[in-house]
Each structure stands twice: as structure tokens, then as C-alpha cells.
Structure 1
């Protein structure tokens, strides 16, 4: 091979190697920039909906994947979700495009409740799910869970669990839990009405008998409650009455 050819080959290899190193450097800088500067612009559903035409479901799946990826990166880098507004906005776009898509409602409300302690925002997402998924027990069930577990409001939790029980697909254990929440919050009469409704509308006789047993216990509590009210009226005293005074 001639010396001139070797010279050109050496120049080519040097330039190629320099280009390759520069490419690696720029790729690394690009990845760093993208990780540190997430593009948060979102196309509203009023625009993205018509543009997607008959491919709305595919667009919703893509945006839901984007929601999961964004949330995962925030948890990985910061151990905490900081940009709640972006998550809510993206969830609203997805559920506007496909109101019956349950997964975004569930994912966003649980992430916001568990990681951000923003329970009212989580309940707001579930409220939208209640309107769009009228015959689905899950929005009421998880709203009840938030009231029970995070907000420690057993009365409100019981009300939502009762609503969930009356919808198809709800778990068999749920009516007993709902009745327990109502009795724990001293809503014995509401618990009795609810159990009577479940007995009347339950096809499974074994479960109906369990409801009747629970109703019997609730009715006994109502009798004690009525006895306490009678004792209050008799003594004309609104102070707390101990159970030993009532049954003695």
C-alpha cells in the first residue's frame, strides 16, 4: 500500500475516532439535560382528542405509560413526588379522552395519597371516577379506604363502603366491614337499615344468615342506645352514662 493511502487512512481513523468520542459526549450531555429538565407541556384533551381520531385508546395507553414513567423517575430520584400538578393534569387528560379507563384514576389517587399526603386531591380524582364509572364499586371503595386509613373518619368511610356494597362486583366481605364502620361511629340505625337492605337483596342464603346475625347484634346496640336516651331524659342530665348504670 502506498504511503499516501496510509496517510489518508490514518486521517480517516483519527477523524472517525474524534467524531465517535464527540458523539458519546453529546449523548451523555443530552441524557443529563433530559433528566434534569423534564418537558412538562401537555396537549389538552380538547385538541389531542380530535387529532387522535379513532386511536384514542392507543393515545391513552401512551399517556398512562408516560404518567407511570414520570412518577417512577420522581420516586427514584427524590424518594418523593414533587410535581403533583403535572400528575393531576395528565390524569385529567387521560380520563377526559377515555372516562371509563379506571387505571389512571387508581394509580394517581393512590400515589398522591401515599406519597404526597394530599388526601383531598386524591378524593377529587375519585369523585371524577364516581361520575364516569357509575356502576363501578371501586371509586367508592377506595374513597372509603382513604377516609378510614388516612383521615381516620369511620363515619364517612362507612358511608362510602355502603355505596360500594350496593354496586355489582363488590367483595363479599365488604358489607360486614361497612356495618362495622357504621357501628363503630355509633351510627347503629343506619347500620341496621343497611343490613336489612343487604338481607333483602342477597341471593346467597348463607351470606344472608350472616347478615341476619350481624343485624341482631346491631339491634341489641340500638336497644342499649335507646335505653341510654331514656335514662338521659329521665334524669334530665346530658352527662355521659356508663353501661353499668344502663343495665343495672
Structure 2
């Protein structure tokens, strides 16, 4: 929307409602949009192809750098947060996998009974229900009042030099730099079979962010074991046909710049 406003000089002052979903919206980008369109209401929607829209959160104030909440379940959905042992979580501060049931949940994957059995499971809270619970693979935190906040993908937790690292936490640290518009942190395998982190950074329009400045920012924001081994600055992150960041392409890419000498 910001690009549309700038390139076409379009007056969107009459816009009243903005919904966004898909990839997590960087807070600093949202702050910029809210300042340009102060008269609109903003809603963060969480969903997936298999379940459609599941939760919704109204953004009432300019966000800080913390991840945006995804809110509470929509009226037609039931959400269950499960721990590592598939037990329901309810306490504030708990982190677990978001699972959902409702009329928009798919019945399974066509021609893939194994994946269907893994992702569509019996509801541990209501075992008498015939419909299944969809396991999203997304980790969420239960906040005060039952509001949910997206933490990251369950499969985005990797072991680096013996430490468990959440890739989303590393991305959040990178995003705190004012000249970073978007980032993708992926794990790659080196020639000696060790696993390391690589960060590919998309800068804001007109930014002159250097690798040296970015490295210093990360050294001040992250413990050494979480810092990416390699960095690359690009004008735009690669996208899939659905508009999401193509992380598989980034994992397979060749490193251009080591983050540490």
C-alpha cells in the first residue's frame, strides 16, 4: 500500500479498514502505514490454506518492536494450544502449537494419507467430536486475556553449535534496525556438515545500510551463538507463487558474505 501511495500519488485518505495476513507484518512497516493512513482501522488476521481465517486482532495503537498479536479465535473456530506432549495449555505465558477445528478446516490432503494423519488429529479436549483438529505447526504464546501471539514455526527451531535457536527470534532482532524492511533467516549445511545461520535482508527504500553496520547491530542485539554466520543485503526477498518468502530457495543459495571474519 505504501508503495502504491508513493508511486501513483494516490490519495487513500478515505480508506477505513485494512486487513493483513500471511507473513508476519514487520512492526516498523506498520507504524509507517498507520502514520500515513491514521483514519483507518487495522486488523491482523491469522490463518492457513488448510483452515482459512482462524484468529483476528485489532491494532488499536502504534505497535512497538514486539511481534504483533494474532488475537483471539474467530467466532466460528475453536483453537487449542498443545504442549510437546499434546496436552492443552491455558496459562498466560505458555507457548505451544496452535491447533484449530471448525467448519472451514479441510478434511485432509488429496492423495497423501500419511500427511493427513499427521496434521489432522483427534481433538484432545473434545474426543467425542467427529471433526478433526488441524495441527498448524505454528508456535504461539498465550497472553493476558487469552490473546495469542505468533512465536514462530515449530520446524524453525534448529540446533546451532549445541544451542537451540528459534529463527523467528533472530529475524525479530534484525528487524529492529530502522533500515531493514524484511528479513529471512535460514539454516544451511556447510561443507563440513555443520549447521549455521544465514540472514538475507531486504532494506527500506533509499536505505544505505552496510554489512558492517548490520553486523554491529546484530552483535549488540544477539548472543554470539544466535548471530548469523553469513549476511546478504538485497533489494527484494524472493517470493513463492503465493507471495510468501521463498525460504527453500534461500536455504539452497550460495553465501555471499560471511558475518564473521
TM-score, normalised relative to structure 2: 0.21
Using CA pairs under 8 Å that are at least 6 residues apart, name the structure with larger relative contact order, 1 or 2. 2
Structure number having the greater strand percentage: 2
Structure with the largest fraction of helix: 1
